[in-house]
Amino acid sequence: MRSGLSPRGQGYGIGITATLFSTPALAEVCDKVRPLWQPGTQATALTEALHFFATPLGLILVALSAVAIARRWQWVGLATILGWTGLVSLVALGASIDPTSVHALAVAEGCVGPPTLFIVAVAAICVGIVLWTKPRTSGADGSES
């Protein structure tokens, strides 16, 4: 008969151990996940949003969003929204598909914050793109309908 924890149980054990016994050795996780993080500071939703917007993909999508809105190009807007959807999916599902539980250790250490603000901001950008690039129709009196 085999005894021990399943891999999933081991991940929980590592997370609980990291929370209860935070040591400088665990800070190596933060060096890998967030190299510019300052030890002793807590990651917030704002710093997490800034982190994701400052990634190369985030900067490209911000630029494409600006182009789609400025030029009212629907197809560029659609491609940009699909890109935002992919990035948000990676952010939202990244912790659940991490087999090494590095993300859980980084959250326990305090260098990774909640992605909520980033997700809400991206949703607002996507709604803005859809509304701003929609086809214009003119009514009989010249107003939009």
pLDDT at residue number 143:
64
**Predicted local distance difference test score (pLDDT) of residue 138:** 72
Cβ within 8 Å of residue 36, ≥6 positions away? none
- pLDDT at residue 75, as a whole number: 96
- Phi and psi dihedrals of 144, rounded to 5? -75, 145
Q: Which amino acid is at 145?
A: S
The pLDDT score that the predictor gives to residue 1 is: 47
Per-residue pLDDT of the chain (145 residues; tens, 9 = 90+): 455 545 555 555 554 444 444 555 555 888 888 888 888 888 999 999 999 999 999 999 999 999 999 999 999 999 999 999 999 999 999 878 888 888 889 888 899 999 999 999 999 999 999 999 998 877 666 566 5
Specify the pLDDT at position 103: 87
Q: How far is CA 141 from the centre of its chain?
A: 45
- Domain boundary assignment for the chain: 7-133
Angle between helices 56-71 and 116-133 (to 10 degrees): 20
